[in-house]
Amino acid sequence: MNEPIKTPESPETKKKKGLSAQAIVSIIIIALMVIIPLIIYFWKQSEIKNLKEKYDKDIQEITLKANSTIDENNTKNMENLTRVFSWAVRSEMLRQNLEQVENYMNDLVKAADLTNISAVQPDGIVIKSTDKKFEGNVYPGPIAKELAQINEVASKTSENGDVVSICPIMGLDNRIGTIIITYTPKKNVFVAEEKK
Protein backbone atom coordinates (compact mmCIF):
# COMPACT_ATOMS: atom_id res chain seq x y z
CA MET A 1 0.00 0.00 0.00
CA ASN A 2 1.15 3.32 -0.83
CA GLU A 3 0.67 5.48 2.12
CA PRO A 4 2.17 8.87 2.11
CA ILE A 5 4.97 9.16 4.42
CA LYS A 6 4.40 11.55 7.25
CA THR A 7 7.27 13.64 8.22
CA PRO A 8 7.44 15.23 11.56
CA GLU A 9 6.55 18.90 11.42
CA SER A 10 9.10 21.35 12.49
CA PRO A 11 8.19 24.23 14.85
CA GLU A 12 8.48 26.68 11.96
CA THR A 13 5.89 24.75 9.97
CA LYS A 14 3.44 24.82 12.93
CA LYS A 15 3.68 28.62 13.16
CA LYS A 16 2.89 28.99 9.51
CA LYS A 17 -0.30 26.89 9.60
CA GLY A 18 -2.44 29.05 11.91
CA LEU A 19 -2.64 31.49 14.74
CA SER A 20 -2.39 30.36 18.22
CA ALA A 21 -5.28 30.81 20.64
CA GLN A 22 -3.32 33.50 22.46
CA ALA A 23 -2.87 35.50 19.23
CA ILE A 24 -6.58 35.22 18.40
CA VAL A 25 -7.56 36.46 21.89
CA SER A 26 -5.09 39.36 21.54
CA ILE A 27 -6.57 40.35 18.17
CA ILE A 28 -10.12 40.19 19.56
CA ILE A 29 -9.15 42.36 22.54
CA ILE A 30 -7.46 44.93 20.28
CA ALA A 31 -10.46 44.97 17.93
CA LEU A 32 -12.82 45.49 20.87
CA MET A 33 -10.60 48.29 22.19
CA VAL A 34 -11.03 50.06 18.84
CA ILE A 35 -14.67 49.19 18.08
CA ILE A 36 -16.22 49.93 21.52
CA PRO A 37 -14.91 53.53 21.70
CA LEU A 38 -16.07 54.12 18.12
CA ILE A 39 -19.55 52.83 18.97
CA ILE A 40 -19.67 55.05 22.07
CA TYR A 41 -18.42 58.05 20.06
CA PHE A 42 -21.08 57.71 17.34
CA TRP A 43 -23.80 57.04 19.93
CA LYS A 44 -22.88 60.21 21.85
CA GLN A 45 -22.69 62.22 18.61
CA SER A 46 -26.21 61.07 17.79
CA GLU A 47 -27.40 62.12 21.27
CA ILE A 48 -25.72 65.51 20.88
CA LYS A 49 -27.37 66.02 17.49
CA ASN A 50 -30.79 65.14 18.95
CA LEU A 51 -30.25 67.54 21.87
CA LYS A 52 -29.25 70.35 19.48
CA GLU A 53 -32.35 69.76 17.37
CA LYS A 54 -34.56 69.80 20.49
CA TYR A 55 -32.81 72.96 21.72
CA ASP A 56 -33.34 74.71 18.37
CA LYS A 57 -36.99 73.70 18.32
CA ASP A 58 -37.51 74.89 21.92
CA ILE A 59 -35.80 78.22 21.20
CA GLN A 60 -37.96 78.72 18.11
CA GLU A 61 -41.16 78.00 20.09
CA ILE A 62 -40.13 80.35 22.90
CA THR A 63 -39.23 83.07 20.38
CA LEU A 64 -42.58 82.76 18.59
CA LYS A 65 -44.45 82.83 21.89
CA ALA A 66 -42.51 85.88 23.13
CA ASN A 67 -43.10 87.79 19.89
CA SER A 68 -46.78 86.83 19.94
CA THR A 69 -47.11 88.07 23.52
CA ILE A 70 -45.41 91.34 22.59
CA ASP A 71 -47.76 91.79 19.63
CA GLU A 72 -50.79 91.16 21.86
CA ASN A 73 -49.51 93.63 24.47
CA ASN A 74 -48.81 96.25 21.78
CA THR A 75 -52.36 95.87 20.49
CA LYS A 76 -53.88 96.16 23.98
CA ASN A 77 -51.71 99.17 24.79
CA MET A 78 -52.67 100.87 21.52
CA GLU A 79 -56.35 100.27 22.22
CA ASN A 80 -56.00 101.74 25.72
CA LEU A 81 -54.06 104.72 24.39
CA THR A 82 -56.67 105.31 21.69
CA ARG A 83 -59.54 105.06 24.18
CA VAL A 84 -58.00 107.57 26.60
CA PHE A 85 -56.91 109.90 23.80
CA SER A 86 -60.44 109.85 22.36
CA TRP A 87 -61.77 111.19 25.67
CA ALA A 88 -59.53 114.25 25.39
CA VAL A 89 -60.45 114.74 21.73
CA ARG A 90 -64.16 114.32 22.50
CA SER A 91 -64.20 117.14 25.01
CA GLU A 92 -62.40 119.47 22.61
CA MET A 93 -64.61 118.50 19.66
CA LEU A 94 -67.73 119.20 21.71
CA ARG A 95 -66.30 122.69 22.35
CA GLN A 96 -65.47 123.03 18.63
CA ASN A 97 -61.80 123.55 19.60
CA LEU A 98 -60.11 121.76 16.69
CA GLU A 99 -56.83 123.64 17.19
CA GLN A 100 -56.41 121.99 20.56
CA VAL A 101 -57.22 118.59 19.00
CA GLU A 102 -54.44 119.22 16.49
CA ASN A 103 -52.02 120.15 19.29
CA TYR A 104 -52.90 116.97 21.18
CA MET A 105 -52.32 114.90 18.06
CA ASN A 106 -48.95 116.43 17.26
CA ASP A 107 -47.74 116.08 20.85
CA LEU A 108 -48.86 112.45 21.07
CA VAL A 109 -47.25 111.47 17.76
CA LYS A 110 -43.92 112.89 18.95
CA ALA A 111 -44.12 111.48 22.47
CA ALA A 112 -45.34 107.98 21.67
CA ASP A 113 -43.45 107.45 18.39
CA LEU A 114 -46.66 106.88 16.44
CA THR A 115 -46.98 106.98 12.66
CA ASN A 116 -50.18 108.98 12.29
CA ILE A 117 -53.27 110.18 14.14
CA SER A 118 -56.42 111.29 12.38
CA ALA A 119 -59.78 112.63 13.57
CA VAL A 120 -62.48 111.60 11.11
CA GLN A 121 -66.05 112.85 10.82
CA PRO A 122 -68.91 110.33 10.74
CA ASP A 123 -69.05 110.71 6.92
CA GLY A 124 -65.39 109.55 6.64
CA ILE A 125 -63.84 112.97 5.91
CA VAL A 126 -60.63 113.64 7.86
CA ILE A 127 -60.95 116.92 9.80
CA LYS A 128 -57.56 116.84 11.55
CA SER A 129 -54.53 114.65 10.98
CA THR A 130 -50.84 114.66 11.69
CA ASP A 131 -50.45 113.83 7.98
CA LYS A 132 -51.82 117.00 6.34
CA LYS A 133 -52.49 115.31 2.98
CA PHE A 134 -55.37 113.39 4.63
CA GLU A 135 -57.22 116.52 5.82
CA GLY A 136 -60.35 117.35 3.85
CA ASN A 137 -60.33 113.94 2.11
CA VAL A 138 -61.97 110.60 2.81
CA TYR A 139 -59.73 108.50 5.06
CA PRO A 140 -57.64 106.29 2.73
CA GLY A 141 -57.51 102.52 2.63
CA PRO A 142 -59.93 99.70 3.27
CA ILE A 143 -60.39 100.72 6.92
CA ALA A 144 -62.49 103.70 5.80
CA LYS A 145 -65.27 101.33 4.70
CA GLU A 146 -65.41 99.79 8.18
CA LEU A 147 -65.47 103.00 10.25
CA ALA A 148 -69.25 103.25 10.48
CA GLN A 149 -69.55 99.69 11.81
CA ILE A 150 -66.94 100.13 14.57
CA ASN A 151 -68.75 101.04 17.79
CA GLU A 152 -65.96 100.39 20.30
CA VAL A 153 -62.19 100.42 20.34
CA ALA A 154 -60.79 98.02 17.77
CA SER A 155 -57.40 97.25 16.30
CA LYS A 156 -56.63 96.12 12.79
CA THR A 157 -53.45 95.31 10.96
CA SER A 158 -53.02 97.10 7.66
CA GLU A 159 -51.53 95.62 4.50
CA ASN A 160 -48.08 97.02 5.32
CA GLY A 161 -48.09 95.57 8.86
CA ASP A 162 -49.01 98.74 10.75
CA VAL A 163 -51.36 98.42 13.71
CA VAL A 164 -54.36 100.71 13.27
CA SER A 165 -56.33 101.44 16.43
CA ILE A 166 -59.81 102.90 15.92
CA CYS A 167 -62.13 104.43 18.51
CA PRO A 168 -65.49 106.12 17.91
CA ILE A 169 -66.06 109.50 19.53
CA MET A 170 -69.59 109.76 20.83
CA GLY A 171 -71.40 113.01 21.51
CA LEU A 172 -74.32 113.31 23.86
CA ASP A 173 -76.65 111.33 21.61
CA ASN A 174 -74.80 110.59 18.39
CA ARG A 175 -71.40 109.82 16.91
CA ILE A 176 -69.35 112.95 16.29
CA GLY A 177 -66.30 111.27 14.82
CA THR A 178 -63.63 108.61 15.01
CA ILE A 179 -60.02 108.65 16.16
CA ILE A 180 -57.59 106.54 14.11
CA ILE A 181 -54.07 105.99 15.45
CA THR A 182 -51.51 104.19 13.32
CA TYR A 183 -48.44 102.58 14.84
CA THR A 184 -45.61 100.66 13.18
CA PRO A 185 -44.57 97.91 15.60
CA LYS A 186 -41.06 96.60 15.79
CA LYS A 187 -41.06 93.13 14.30
CA ASN A 188 -39.13 90.13 15.58
CA VAL A 189 -38.19 91.68 18.88
CA PHE A 190 -36.77 88.34 19.93
CA VAL A 191 -34.77 86.54 17.27
CA ALA A 192 -33.30 83.12 17.89
CA GLU A 193 -29.54 83.01 17.50
CA GLU A 194 -28.45 81.79 14.12
CA LYS A 195 -26.30 78.69 13.90
CA LYS A 196 -22.64 79.42 13.58
Residue 173 identity (one-letter amino acid) = D
Would you identify the CATH topology of the domain 49-183?
A: Beta-Lactamase (3.30.450)
Average pLDDT of the segment spanning 105-125: 90
pLDDT in tens, 97-113: 999 999 999 999 988 77
Average pLDDT of the segment spanning 135-146: 85
| Element holding 61 (H helix, E strand) | helix 21-94
Q: What pLDDT is attached to residue 44? A: 94
**C-alpha to C-alpha distance for 147 and 120, rounded to whole angstroms:** 9
**Non-local CB neighbours of 71 within 8 Å, separated by 6+ positions:** 185
Extents of the domains making up the chain: 49-183
Check: pTM over 0.75? Answer yes or no.
no
The count of C-alpha atoms lying within 13 angstroms of the C-alpha of 70, restricted to the half-sphere facing its C-beta, is 13
pLDDT in tens, 158-179: 878 888 899 999 988 888 999 9
**C-alpha to C-alpha distance for 47 and 41, rounded to whole angstroms:** 10
**C-alpha to C-alpha distance for 160 and 162, rounded to whole angstroms:** 6
Q: Band of the pLDDT at 148, cuts 50, 70, 90?
A: confident
User: Helix (H, G, I), strand (E, B), or coil: what is residue 79?
Assistant: helix
